[in-house]
Amino acid sequence: MIPRYTRPEMAAIWSPESRYRIWFEIEAHATDKLAELGVVPASAAKAVWKARDMEFDIARIDEIEREVKHDVIAFLTHLSELVGEEARFVHQGLTSSDVLDTCLAVQMTRSADLLLEGMDRVMAALKARAFEHKTTICIGRSHGIHAEPTTMGLKFARFHAEFARNRARLVSARAEIATCAISGAVGTFANVDPAVEAHVAKKLGLTVEPISTQVIPRDRHAAFFACLGLIASAIENLSVEVRHLQRSEVREAQEYFSPGQKGSSAMPHKRNPILTENLTGLARLVRSAVTPAMENVALWHERDISHSSVERGIGPDACVHLDFALHRTASMIEGLIVHADRCKENLDAFGGIHNSQRVLLALTQAGASREESYRLVQRNGMKTWDEGGRLIDHLKADTDVMALLGADGIAACFDDAWHLRHVDTIFARVFADA
Amino acid sequence: MIPRYTRPEMAAIWSPESRYRIWFEIEAHATDKLAELGVVPASAAKAVWKARDMEFDIARIDEIEREVKHDVIAFLTHLSELVGEEARFVHQGLTSSDVLDTCLAVQMTRSADLLLEGMDRVMAALKARAFEHKTTICIGRSHGIHAEPTTMGLKFARFHAEFARNRARLVSARAEIATCAISGAVGTFANVDPAVEAHVAKKLGLTVEPISTQVIPRDRHAAFFACLGLIASAIENLSVEVRHLQRSEVREAQEYFSPGQKGSSAMPHKRNPILTENLTGLARLVRSAVTPAMENVALWHERDISHSSVERGIGPDACVHLDFALHRTASMIEGLIVHADRCKENLDAFGGIHNSQRVLLALTQAGASREESYRLVQRNGMKTWDEGGRLIDHLKADTDVMALLGADGIAACFDDAWHLRHVDTIFARVFADA
Amino acid sequence: MIPRYTRPEMAAIWSPESRYRIWFEIEAHATDKLAELGVVPASAAKAVWKARDMEFDIARIDEIEREVKHDVIAFLTHLSELVGEEARFVHQGLTSSDVLDTCLAVQMTRSADLLLEGMDRVMAALKARAFEHKTTICIGRSHGIHAEPTTMGLKFARFHAEFARNRARLVSARAEIATCAISGAVGTFANVDPAVEAHVAKKLGLTVEPISTQVIPRDRHAAFFACLGLIASAIENLSVEVRHLQRSEVREAQEYFSPGQKGSSAMPHKRNPILTENLTGLARLVRSAVTPAMENVALWHERDISHSSVERGIGPDACVHLDFALHRTASMIEGLIVHADRCKENLDAFGGIHNSQRVLLALTQAGASREESYRLVQRNGMKTWDEGGRLIDHLKADTDVMALLGADGIAACFDDAWHLRHVDTIFARVFADA
Amino acid sequence: MIPRYTRPEMAAIWSPESRYRIWFEIEAHATDKLAELGVVPASAAKAVWKARDMEFDIARIDEIEREVKHDVIAFLTHLSELVGEEARFVHQGLTSSDVLDTCLAVQMTRSADLLLEGMDRVMAALKARAFEHKTTICIGRSHGIHAEPTTMGLKFARFHAEFARNRARLVSARAEIATCAISGAVGTFANVDPAVEAHVAKKLGLTVEPISTQVIPRDRHAAFFACLGLIASAIENLSVEVRHLQRSEVREAQEYFSPGQKGSSAMPHKRNPILTENLTGLARLVRSAVTPAMENVALWHERDISHSSVERGIGPDACVHLDFALHRTASMIEGLIVHADRCKENLDAFGGIHNSQRVLLALTQAGASREESYRLVQRNGMKTWDEGGRLIDHLKADTDVMALLGADGIAACFDDAWHLRHVDTIFARVFADA
């Protein structure tokens, strides 16, 4: 968890305080049910809840853990110190993993909720900018080479669509991870009734894990981290686009540059796309959680604890860094300066050769073979590219082309509005439910 | 695509023949719609379909491609050779990626269908074996150390549950990848009406891509490969379990060993779990597609072609190897020999210390503190472990324990059936919809 | 192994023919030594060598393998068919892995040799182009934003340096993988004298593996694939640079475009950097071998066979694709068209603000504080950026700057040659041993 | 950086205090040389060194950074606050990356030194235990199945050899990362003489980077992290072995279990291999740094800053966690309890079938064909496996075998000492230079 890429809201979910508080809730709800089932005295259940308003002393728990080398026992011992003798009934029939894994499920679902908020903010920003620049015409590029016109709004819209898909994936991944397992040492409920699991699950907003071993199966977690990897990749995708648009030769967009900000100690004129470069790196970092999460799936028999150290790392780190990245992405989009004038300049920079495809089709329609049409367009396109001038003029000076299309036929191919006539259709598709 | 790990059904989907056949269908359906829209002559659409019953000459297409260095142009040229002059109207307004990406979507959905069949076979095998061994008692292990009893059926059941989750994920991933994009050079439908896309999509069983650039966005593919990575990890999980059960000291299960098979050139007595070891490796191989698929998401502007070489590798390879692995997994499960007698021997190997948790709870119930109970159980457990004998006897010889539980109270803790009393509940959860 | 990204030289190393030929050599040399040691009859050793000039019937070996389900036994059986009865002494005391692992070592070292050739070709091309464009001035960019001048030669030189480092790494990795293990079922030489291993190693140009189990330890292989991942990343690095230089707005370099080549079916004017985009993807593909190779390191006890299926994939694939990528990289560099005129145009595009750092230093030298200097440069730099014109003129119009530097002092900061004065020093460092 | 997996020595290297101290040294040494070159006043160089004994106020630097949004400028501003006016000459002609990247090189080399210490401790422990158990005979296993005898000492020895290889790799990786770049905004030394770089490099124990851009090329860092990934994999390899040896059915080794330690809240008798399970997870975590480090290699043009956020994560995390893992590994090996009696019991558990390979060879030597020998051994091996009894007895009861070998010939195959006769040879190879 890198401090500068951490928002306190997400860090709080993964703090020791939160963890112990969730452990407490699991134990307390479980004890309630155990009391109801007559396994422990009702007075015990009541006693436990006294700790609801007490603060856990983390240093003290750490101290006990150093001695007993077991975190849950350390917590339970401290709980006894707080609520007294009756605490001996707490955790009756449970195994440590019942508490640890259910707690992790709670932390991951809470993290998912926070991430969904971040995605909503990103999507709101993308939608607003998409509509704002729906018809801001610019050149579309394949292979980094000018192709045909598109609009800045379509760029924002496509990232919106990608985030919307990822949002749906995260909603699924959240549902998958939101399970509660209180099933004992090997998942057989040998010493704890399934009713306890059902009760705790309900109280914590989880579903019961249909079949656990000592642990909740790790494919659920792996699916969650794979989803985070996809969201991170979407952030990279968007970031790479902005970085391209901001480069000196393009300058179609620019990250907001605050008055007090110094771009570089050496080159004061520079306005660097540092937010999106940073996001590109954060995407790599978040994505690096995917493989170890998948390596965690194959545990030995009814569990080994190899997954635990991995999750102590990637659990908070991937959630915290992605959360930060989403909000940085949102701010970046919200503040992004779009230079419509530069978009137009770039579009017109090569004599209108981006219309060559339309000329090609017109020639084919006019009866030329595909190969002939291709040759005619290519020779004028190359001329425009190599010698300058405007394609429309070169075509008009080409007697073969003139014979097929005539001056009006040629001119009809050079109308930029033509390229925008289906933008509404696309927007309707993308923002139908948004 | 490693020949020995390839089933012909899956290889066929990724063969040049299939690819050209799908290209043909895309082009032919598109031409139909273009004719209906009056963009090309109706005769052209009719002419194209003549190739439906012709065979494409792959060597000839390769030859043309070597000259023009463009695969789709090579195919279209060959199509002209087959159906004649009218083929010049084919591909009107389309861009190569319209064909390539829609074809890939078809190949991936067909692959998904085949993988789902494989998963169904695995799940059917797991379900059958789960019910067969529902009450075959065996020791459950955490950390590789004996814990409490479970059943072989529960093991099969939990892998079934994992495969069922992965099946649902694959159904989602299939739906996500099943889109058709025929939207032109930068996705604006500049030279092709959206109706063409809608028509082709319908004919091929796809949905329209709401917003494409030159290509279908690569997060869809990345989500697909991430799902394959999860399925591969499930295969690894199951395989690692079998490998453990088959090791010489455990021998609770064994891969089917055909009469003609030689386990080793040097040690004729050996019956090695080579199928599951092989599957463990195949899982790593399939999983290795996940990261490059995610790296493919961030393409430059409206597309760069870096994703293409990656997909030529991981597309067929991950699908083919996973398909093979699923069927090998199914065969392995179907043929797996379960040694119930060895399960029982192992369960009883350590003097019944797997019941110590029950004794612990009984002591607590009888009024001992958690710490006291723990100490009492631990000293007798350690004695059993270190000196041998049966825990029940050591407990009866321990006056402190006797004082608390009495002989009957102790005996009540040593009943294996106790551990199986919730198996039906768990099976009902797992196989509710299966 | 994707056919279009395969050179026959590398494919040959990984063909069944090569593999059986290497197996034969291992067995034949081993039998020689066994005969010398008196373990097998001298006539047996002599008999085996008869197969030296015979062709192995691969279909026949496959047929036997389908029956016995063991590749080495199948080969040995076929060898008996070829050389007769005496072949029963072949493989005496060896275990299959002795043959398989030593063979893999031979294949990997031969692959390394071929890769080194490819790297040498890349480095020769880079060196030639570096010297050709040693003083071709162009703008250097950080964050995609113009910074200070550099030269095209320095770009080639830095990639040369990176390839030189990777070459040294590959030489090390080759040495690490070039070991021979003939040590029996668990590496104890129980049934084969260490002298056999030493003899075979010498004959095959390998060193003896100091300690093997049943297999050569897999960290050696993992180190090899990690090295291939680094080389792939170097190719990506170089490719990304070329793709940037070729984009429409930059056009400082361009991949060679052969006369017959069609860039796109739709946009005949386009000259796309498809080689480097392709190489970017191939880099991802090669790099995907690194993680599974590392996952292969932790085998169970004296070996499990999980590594094998992984290596059947990544062994040939990573070598073949990297080999192809190296030669494509070399061709691309050799043919790359550098537009020195465009370099100069881009350098001068922003009114000379790339000299702002020099002005900043001059101001500091003239007695202004760092902050004051920064402010003075920033306000004139921003003006040049926002309003156009040349920085030198804005500075001369700024009375504060004039007061500190005077017209001559300002002019002295605008000399591009200044930036090239250490190029020789850098070239001397890079090409010292090259 | 997970606190519980952090040793203070390694954490200190990556603390803000260390970073600023290294920055200071770089700036101060650079200013010395700049003064010597006459670029800045000698008094300035002298003034800067006043801060040598001052403490940097990290909170104050953070405060400045929040305003100027640039870490190096913030530091330089604070430095001015400490040493006064003359500090304006510091950083003359340098660019931020000169400081940042050289600092990172120092941190990584110091980390490497600490890791080498950890590796030495691991290797010392492995060597001691190897010699201690050089002839502690135990069964060797392939595929988890009993094969032939080996010794516990050979197990330790092979891990020693793997660590020794990794040690050599880390020494190389350390040398590769130990470079200093002070070459200005795009690496041309435009505003700083190469002599400054040479001076700082020498003072900090680094070599000069032959060719930098704005940054030190990232293949150096990637090679470093790949090396850490290999070391992590070695730890996993060793850990998986121990986990296997400790499982209940094997019990040949056991992690040291301190008197106060509780293995499980529920099962007091359990002694779980939690250290090695934990190490297995830490290995996955460290290894996850490899891919992002390789993705960092391809920066845009003369640098983009995407690598930075990645390195803020993986830099400290991979070093800290690996450092911790090495010391945990060393402690684990040092304290590992080896049960030689259990080794012997397991070796003898299957009636001596581990000698079947020797019988096979003896039969071949006695004139039986390979196939015949195989059949004879297999039928007796299978009998031993299926029906129990001792292989030697079954063989003696087999008239075909008796006809070929006689009772003495059979008995000669059942001598465990035979398997240990080359242990000295292997030890001599492994510990030659250790």
Q: Which long-range contacts (CB under 8 A, 24 or more apart) does B3-7 make?
A: B4/C312, B5/B282, B5/B320, B5/B321, B5/B324, B5/B325, B5/C309, B5/C312, B6/B320, B6/B321, B6/B324, B7/B320, B7/B323, B7/B324, B7/B327
Residues contacting D62, CB < 8 A, separation 6+: D74
From residue C89, how far is each of C28, C52, C73, D363 by CA, in Å?
10, 17, 13, 12
Mean pLDDT (chain A) is 94
pLDDT value at B13 more than 60: yes
pLDDT, average across residues B144-170: 97
DSSP string, A107-155: HHHHHHHHHHHHHHHHHHHHHHHHHHTTT-EEEEEETTEEEEEEEHHHH
pLDDT value at A370 more than 80: no
Q: A90-121: per-residue pLDDT in tens?
A: 998 899 999 999 999 999 999 999 999 999 99
Give average pLDDT by consecutive 10-residue segment, chain C, 434 residues.
Answer: 95 97 97 95 93 94 89 93 88 93 98 98 98 98 95 98 98 98 95 96 98 98 98 98 97 83 54 95 98 98 97 98 98 97 94 88 87 88 86 95 95 92 97 76
Q: Are D368 and D162 in contact (CB under 8 A)?
A: no
D53 touches chain A (CB under 8 A): no
pLDDT for the residue numbered A54: 93
Same domain, A183 and A288: yes
Residues contacting C172, CB < 8 A, separation 6+: C227, D172
- How far is C315 from C5, CA to CA, in rounded Å? 15
Residues contacting D418, CB < 8 A, separation 6+: C190, D358
Q: Tokens standing for B111?
A: 């692959």
- CB < 8 Å to B4, chain C: 312
Among A125, A234, A215, smallest CA distance to A170 is for A234
Q: If you measure CA to CA, which chain D residue comes closest to A191?
A: D266
Same domain, A139 and A31: no
Burial classification of residue D421, based on how many CB atoms lie within 10 Å of its CB (0-12 exposed, 13-18 middle, 19 or more buried): exposed
Q: Is residue B419 part of a domain?
A: no
Q: Which residue in the block uniquely carries the two structure tokens 């039986």?
A: D368
pLDDT for the residue numbered D265: 43
Among A259, A274, A303, A312, smallest CA distance to A16 is for A312
Which residues of B have a catalytic role annotated?
143, 264
- CB neighbours of residue C417 within 10 Å: 9
Q: Which residue in the block uniquely carries the two structure tokens 């279009």?
A: C4
Q: Which residues 111-140 in chain C show a CB within 8 A of chain D?
A: 140
C303 touches chain D (CB under 8 A): yes
pLDDT value at B229 more than 90: yes
pLDDT value at B375 more than 80: yes
Q: Which residue in the block uniquely carries the two structure tokens 């030594």?
A: C33
- Pick the last residue of a domain from B294, B309, B344: B344
Report the CATH number that the domain containing residue D13 is assigned in CATH. Answer: 1.10.275.10
Grouping H, G, I as helix, E, B as strand and the rest as coil, residue D388 is coil
Q: Are B227 and B169 in contact (CB under 8 A)?
A: yes
| Reported confidence tier of residue B327, pLDDT bands at 50, 70, 90 | very high
Q: B112-121: per-residue pLDDT in tens?
A: 999 999 999 9
pLDDT, average across residues A132-152: 96
- How far is C364 from C369, CA to CA, in rounded Å? 6
pLDDT for the residue numbered A265: 43
Same domain, D154 and D103: yes
Q: A50-70: per-residue pLDDT in tens?
A: 999 999 999 999 999 988 888
Q: Is residue B229 part of a domain?
A: yes
Number of residue pairs across B and C with CB atoms under 8 Å? 157
pLDDT for the residue numbered B258: 67
Give average pLDDT by consecutive 10-residue segment, chain D, 434 residues.
Answer: 95 97 97 95 93 94 90 93 88 93 98 98 98 98 95 98 98 98 95 96 98 98 98 98 97 83 54 95 98 98 97 98 98 97 94 88 86 88 86 95 95 92 97 76
Q: Are D187 and C154 in contact (CB under 8 A)?
A: yes
Same domain, B55 and B194: no
Q: Residue D422 is nearest to which of C158, C189, C220, comparing CB atoms?
A: C189
**D234:C161 CB<8 A:** no
More confident residue, B40 or B103: B103
pLDDT for the residue numbered D384: 87
Q: Are C248 and A145 in contact (CB under 8 A)?
A: yes
pLDDT value at A264 more than 50: no
DSSP string, C191-251: SS-HHHHHHHHHHHT-EEPSS-SSS--THHHHHHHHHHHHHHHHHHHHHHHHHHHHSTTT-
D147 touches chain B (CB under 8 A): yes
Grouping H, G, I as helix, E, B as strand and the rest as coil, residue C81 is helix
- How far is D259 from D261, CA to CA, in rounded Å? 6
Q: Are B137 and B347 in contact (CB under 8 A)?
A: yes
What burial letters (b/e) apply to C262-293, b meaning 16+ CB within 10 Å? bbbbbbbbbbbbbbbbbbbbbbbbbbbbbbbb
| Reported confidence tier of residue A1, pLDDT bands at 50, 70, 90 | confident
- Pick the last residue of a domain from C43, C63, C92: C92
D304 touches chain A (CB under 8 A): yes
pLDDT for the residue numbered A434: 53
SS3 percent helix, strand, coil of chain B, rounded to 5, is 70, 5, 25
pLDDT for the residue numbered C1: 85
Q: Is residue B247 part of a domain?
A: yes
Inter-helix orientation angle A356-365/A399-412, to 10°? 110
Q: A19-45: per-residue pLDDT in tens?
A: 999 999 999 999 999 999 999 999 999
Which residues of A have a catalytic role annotated?
143, 264
Containing domain of residue A406, as a range? 353-413
D268 touches chain B (CB under 8 A): yes
Looking at the structure of chain B, the number of domains it has is 3
Q: A251-261: per-residue pLDDT in tens?
A: 999 999 766 55
Q: Which residue in the block uniquely carries the two structure tokens 């923002």?
A: A431
Same domain, D98 and D56: no
Same domain, B270 and B195: yes
pLDDT for the residue numbered C264: 47
- CB neighbours of residue A54 within 10 Å: 11
pLDDT for the residue numbered C258: 67
More confident residue, C403 or B384: C403
C67 touches chain B (CB under 8 A): yes
Same domain, B358 and B216: no
Report the CATH number that the domain containing residue C160 is assigned in CATH. Answer: 1.20.200.10
Q: Tokens standing for A310?
A: 């991995």
Grouping H, G, I as helix, E, B as strand and the rest as coil, residue B55 is coil
Q: A165-209: per-residue pLDDT in tens?
A: 999 999 999 999 999 999 999 999 998 999 999 999 999 999 999
Same domain, C155 and C294: yes
Same domain, D52 and D185: no
Q: Is residue B29 part of a domain?
A: yes
pLDDT value at A338 more than 50: yes
Q: Are B112 and B174 in contact (CB under 8 A)?
A: yes
| Reported confidence tier of residue A87, pLDDT bands at 50, 70, 90 | confident
Q: Is residue D1 part of a domain?
A: no
- How far is B340 from C199, CA to CA, in rounded Å? 49
Q: Is residue A1 part of a domain?
A: no
pLDDT for the residue numbered A91: 92
Same domain, D208 and D336: yes
Same domain, D50 and D150: no
How far does the CA of residue D411 sit from the closest CA of chain A (Å)?
40
- How far is A351 from A414, CA to CA, in rounded Å? 11
Among A117, A108, A100, smallest CA distance to A227 is for A108
**D264:B142 CB<8 A:** yes
**C185:D357 CB<8 A:** yes
Same domain, B146 and B279: yes
Q: Is residue A2 part of a domain?
A: no
- How far is C342 from A384, CA to CA, in rounded Å? 16
What burial letters (b/e) apply to B211-243, b meaning 16+ CB within 10 Å? bbbbbbbbbbbbbbbbbbbbbbbbbbbbbbbbb
- CB < 8 Å to C2, chain B: 309, 312-313
Q: Is residue A286 part of a domain?
A: yes
Q: A384-424: per-residue pLDDT in tens?
A: 878 889 999 999 999 999 999 999 999 999 998 999 999 99
- Pick the last residue of a domain from B50, B74, B92: B92
pLDDT for the residue numbered B136: 98
Report the CATH number that the domain containing residue A387 is assigned in CATH. Answer: 1.10.40.30
